[in-house]
């Protein structure tokens, strides 16, 4: 089934008085939830580097394509939608994954890190009264080449923020594209 991208906010839901915007407001307003924050992080990175030219494909082998590079985006936050009074410990998934082929409906026989570049996005605000995922100044981004992950963290499934900081420095939202453009 072909995706009708992009949907317009005033697209009617047939048989109702509702629009797709009503659905988006109902189902996708809490960006602090883990799954939605991850999709939002992909959107932020895609917007920053100019890679929003096609709709998102759930469960694809990587999240974005920038020039000839495949990009995987990971997200974490100190404050979650289910905040319990203690900031979360920060770690990101970096495990090897099997690649799904949509044309053959099969998975690759071997698991790998299928992107060329990983972008780790941290919603860094630790005050639950101040956290705002829509404020790009509350995010920091760490860019790591997959070759670096493979050489320094070859079999690890997750990477802690302290380990990530040993191979990458935090980048501001406005600097993402220039850093991407400087990569080999």
What are the residue ranges spanned by the domains of the chain?
A: 30-182
| Distance (Å, whole) CA 150 – CA 81 | 32
Q: In degrees rounded to 5, what are phi and psi of residue 101?
A: -105, 110
pLDDT for 1: 41
111 or 103: which leads in pLDDT: 111
pLDDT for 47: 97
pTM: 0.91
pLDDT for 101: 80
For residue range 116-143, list pLDDT tens digits in order. 999 999 999 999 999 999 999 999 999 9
Parallel, antiparallel, or unpaired: how do β-strands 69-77 and 139-145 relate? Answer: unpaired
Exposed e or buried b per residue across 22-33, where buried means at least 16 C-beta atoms within 10 angstroms of its C-beta: eeeeeeeeebbe
Cβ neighbours of 19 (radius 10 Å)? 16
For residue range 88-108, list pLDDT tens digits in order. 999 999 999 988 888 888 899
């Amino acid at each position: 089934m072909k995706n009708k991208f992009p949907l317009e906010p005033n697209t009617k839901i047939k048989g109702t008085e509702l629009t797709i915007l009503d659905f988006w407001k109902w189902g996708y307003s809490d960006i602090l939830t883990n799954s939605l924050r991850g999709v939002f992080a992909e959107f932020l990175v895609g917007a920053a580097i100019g890679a929003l030219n096609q709709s998102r494909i759930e469960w694809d082998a990587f999240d974005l394509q920038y020039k000839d590079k495949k990009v995987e985006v990971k997200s974490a936050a100190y404050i979650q939608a289910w905040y319990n009074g203690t900031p979360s410990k920060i770690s990101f998934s970096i495990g090897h994954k099997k690649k799904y082929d949509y044309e053959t409906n099969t998975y690759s026989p071997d698991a790998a890190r299928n992107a060329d570049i990983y972008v780790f996005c941290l919603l860094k605000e630790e005050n639950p009264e101040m956290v705002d995922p829509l404020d790009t100044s509350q995010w920091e981004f760490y860019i790591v080449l997959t070759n670096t992950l493979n050489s320094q963290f070859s079999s690890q499934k997750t990477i802690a923020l302290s380990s990530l900081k040993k191979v990458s420095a935090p980048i501001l939202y406005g600097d993402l594209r220039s850093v991407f453009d400087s990569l080999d």
